Amino acid sequence: MTIETMTVYKQDPTPIYKQIADQIATRIESGELASNTKLPTHRWLADKLNVTVGTITRAYAEIERRGLVEARVGAGTYVADNSKPSWAFEQSSIDPNEYNFGYNIPPLLDRSNMVKQAMQRIASSPSHLNQLMLYQPPSGLEAHRNVVADWLKTKGIKLHSHRLLFSSGAQHAIQMVLDTFTRAGDTVLVEKYTYPGMISLARQNQLTLKGVEMDELGITPESLDVCCQRYSPRFVYLTPTLQNPTTAIMPEERRLEILRVCEKHDVYVIEDEINSLLLPCPPEPMVNYAPERVIHIGAFSKCLAPGLRVGYLSAPEKLHQKLVVTLQTHSWMISPILTALTCEMLASGDAERNLTLIQQEMKKRIDVALGSLKQFDVRYQQGGLHIWLTLPEHWRLSEFVSQADAMGITVKSGELFAPPGGSVAPAIRLSLSSPQTIEQLQLGVDKLKTLLLSNTVSTYTL
Ligand SMILES: Cc1ncc(COP(=O)(O)O)c(C=O)c1O
């Protein structure tokens, strides 16, 4: 499939210049047309495809607008060299003696082209651009909510667009819920090991967190039942898919059991499904079964890019309006330009393509990590960004974390995931997406393996 094999379909409703641009773009994106390849002259391609020279000029202008080719004065049109590293990918920015497993971020793939193209599409309509510069209703533009609701539907998440609210990431969505519906002194139930951002929010809002017992599928209905009776919580906050930190994925049957317990005690669930967007086939979210019992939270931070700061929530009808008021009080609205940018990437299919790359990259990274660490007690899921490693018995958690740190290896201690007063897992979370390169990941896990196997002599005091 080269440029010579291109064809245009005059009956196709897509304009001919766009058909040509799309076909060249596909060849560039697949690597078939390498960087710096010279495209045929306008005249040659026009004759070949039996179209006018003007159509080719327009097609080339379109792919140039998409950032895929560049016109070099007097020399013709060339496939752009997008392999030039941006600042974040420069080798020099990687400290070869540091191995950072700290952050659940999407792996550092080059997204610059995708973002640039989305920006260009937004910029191509002055009226749209001007509209995005104005105040909007707190719940955002309907068109944006529709794009997000439609995209989420393809992921099996059924949210009504009129109930969607944007947030500045999932953390802000949780904050909105807590600010709206809790008061100092209230209790919120969480998984026994929970997302540290929730622990910070609870501290700030003077809430008491109580951990619910978990097994390998997530919280157990029996423990939830007991905790609801004992603590009369305002909410149960859960990360049911790719649980942070244990990686557990709660199956649908368990979700239904949890919902039955919440129904019995009349407790709302805050379902944080930010990580489910990483999986090709996640289980049905709880909100699908019980939209009047569940506040569903998500964000594009893991499956697309955290820098967008675009998240969303959808609450039961009777809670919705209060959240709108909170959003307005916090910041009037979420930046429409950022939601527009996100929607462009969702609607164009670029977000999905980016997600496929993330999934492919994570598969490689999990293989590398397991290659070194499989002899230990490791919990992981294909598609997840992190693994959860229980330390061998000869290691004390704090000692291990500080020795790793002394070797330049950053890991997240089990301590960070324990709600205040809760038990601490003798485990560490390793974000496999966090090292900038696979090579760095490989070196890091090899060093961790050596450290895990080493028998340090602890100093005990009487
Ligand atoms: C379970 C969970 N919820 C929420 C967040 C925060 O996401 P955001 O960056 O969209 O605020 C994270 C980030 O690590 C997370 O792991």
Q: What integer is the mean pLDDT of 250-278? A: 98
Q: What is the pLDDT of residue 73?
A: 73
Rounded to whole angstroms, the Cα distance separating 160 from 148 reads: 10
Q: What is the pLDDT of residue 4?
A: 76
The residues, any chain, with a CB within 8 Å of residue 335's CB and separated by 6 or more, are 168, 309
Regarding whether 97 and 145 lie in a shared domain, the answer is: no
Q: What integer is the mean pLDDT of 53-70? A: 88
Cα–ligand 1 centroid distance for 273 (angstroms) = 9
Lowest-confidence region among 31-35, 178-182, 299-303, 405-409: 31-35
More confident residue, 180 or 78: 180
Counting every residue written for the chain, the total comes to 462
Domain boundary among 58, 79, 100: 79
Regarding whether 301 and 215 lie in a shared domain, the answer is: yes
Q: What is the pLDDT of residue 306?
A: 95
Output the CA torsion sign for 321, 185, 241, 428. Answer: positive
Which tokens belong to 363? 């598969």
Q: What is the pLDDT of residue 458?
A: 58
Cα–ligand 1 centroid distance for 298 (angstroms) = 8
Regarding whether 106 and 200 lie in a shared domain, the answer is: no
Regarding whether 371 and 252 lie in a shared domain, the answer is: no
Regarding whether 248 and 331 lie in a shared domain, the answer is: yes
Regarding whether 375 and 328 lie in a shared domain, the answer is: no
Q: Binning pLDDT at 50, 70 and 90, where does residue 87 land?
A: very low
Question: CA-CA-CA-CA torsion for 202, 300, 252, 284, nearest 10 degrees?
Answer: 130
Regarding whether 424 and 341 lie in a shared domain, the answer is: no
Q: What is the pLDDT of residue 2?
A: 76
Evaluate whether residue 87 is within a structural domain: no
Atom nearest to 306 CA in ligand 1: 9
Evaluate whether residue 461 is within a structural domain: no
Rounded to whole angstroms, the Cα distance separating 234 from 369 reads: 39
Calculate what percentage of the chain has a pLDDT beyond 90: 82
Per residue in 343-361, pLDDT (tens digit) is: 999 999 999 999 999 999 9
Which tokens belong to 105? 């971020």
**169 ligand 1 Cβ < 6 A:** yes
Q: What is the pLDDT of residue 460?
A: 56
**395 ligand 1 Cβ < 6 A:** no
**197 ligand 1 Cβ < 6 A:** yes
Query: Is the distance from CB of 194 to CB of 171 less than 8 angstroms?
Result: no
**240 ligand 1 Cβ < 6 A:** no
Evaluate whether residue 118 is within a structural domain: no
Evaluate whether residue 280 is within a structural domain: yes
Atom nearest to 239 CA in ligand 1: 1
**271 ligand 1 Cβ < 6 A:** no
Atom nearest to 169 CA in ligand 1: 10
Evaluate whether residue 130 is within a structural domain: no
Domain that holds residue 219: 137-348
More confident residue, 187 or 80: 187
Regarding whether 276 and 145 lie in a shared domain, the answer is: yes
**104 ligand 1 Cβ < 6 A:** yes
Evaluate whether residue 85 is within a structural domain: no
Regarding whether 363 and 230 lie in a shared domain, the answer is: no
Q: What integer is the mean pLDDT of 297-304? A: 97
Residue 253, class by beta-carbon neighbours within 10 Å (0-12 exposed, 13-18 middle, 19+ buried)?
A: exposed
Q: Binning pLDDT at 50, 70 and 90, where does residue 94 land?
A: low
Regarding whether 205 and 109 lie in a shared domain, the answer is: no
**299 ligand 1 Cβ < 6 A:** yes
Q: What integer is the mean pLDDT of 282-310? A: 97
**196 ligand 1 Cβ < 6 A:** no
Q: What is the pLDDT of residue 85?
A: 42
Q: What integer is the mean pLDDT of 297-323? A: 97
**274 ligand 1 Cβ < 6 A:** yes
Cα–ligand 1 centroid distance for 342 (angstroms) = 17
In sequence order, what DSSP letters do the residues of 40-85 get, joined into one string? PPHHHHHHHHT--HHHHHHHHHHHHHTTSEEEETTTEEEE--TTS-
Taking Cα atoms as reference points, which of 135, 127, 85, 134 lies closest to residue 108? 85
The residue type at 93: S
Highest mean pLDDT among 16-25, 70-79, 245-254: 245-254
Q: What integer is the mean pLDDT of 184-201? A: 97
Sheet holding 164-167, edge to edge: 164-167, 311-314, 294-299, 268-272, 235-238, 187-191, 208-212
Cα–ligand 1 centroid distance for 171 (angstroms) = 6
The residues, any chain, with a CB within 8 Å of residue 230's CB and separated by 6 or more, are none
Regarding whether 360 and 336 lie in a shared domain, the answer is: no
Domain boundary among 348, 372, 391: 348
Q: What is the pLDDT of residue 242?
A: 98
In sequence order, what DSSP letters do the residues of 333-400 get, joined into one string? S--HHHHHHHHHHHHTSHHHHHHHHHHHHHHHHHHHHHHHHTTSEEE--TT-SEEEEEPPTT--HHHH
Split into its structural domains, the chain has a count of 3
Q: Residue 35 belongs to a domain with what CATH number?
A: 1.10.10.10
Residue 108, class by beta-carbon neighbours within 10 Å (0-12 exposed, 13-18 middle, 19+ buried)?
A: middle
Q: What is the pLDDT of residue 109?
A: 85
Report whether pLDDT(457) > 70.
no
Cis before 245? omega within 30: yes
Report whether pLDDT(254) > 70.
yes
The torsion angles phi and psi of 420, rounded to 5 degrees, stand at: -50, 130
Atom nearest to 173 CA in ligand 1: 11
Domain boundary among 326, 348, 370: 348
**Residue 408: Cβ within 10 Å count:** 14
Averaged pLDDT of the chain: 93
Lowest-confidence region among 89-98, 261-270, 277-286, 391-400: 89-98
Q: Residue 96 belongs to a domain with what CATH number?
A: 3.90.1150.10
Give pTM, 2 decimals: 0.81
Report whether pLDDT(108) > 90.
no
**Residue to probe by mutation, ligand 1, list 177, 190, 244, most atoms within 8 Å of CB:** 244
Q: Binning pLDDT at 50, 70 and 90, where does residue 66 land?
A: confident
Cα–Cα distance list, 384 to 273, 328, 359, 431, 447 (Å): 12, 34, 8, 9, 22
- CB contact burial 314-339 (16+ within 10 A = b; e otherwise): bbbeebbeebbebbeebeebbbbebb
Evaluate whether residue 119 is within a structural domain: no
3-state secondary structure of 220: coil
**244 ligand 1 Cβ < 6 A:** yes
Residue 449, class by beta-carbon neighbours within 10 Å (0-12 exposed, 13-18 middle, 19+ buried)?
A: middle
**170 ligand 1 Cβ < 6 A:** yes
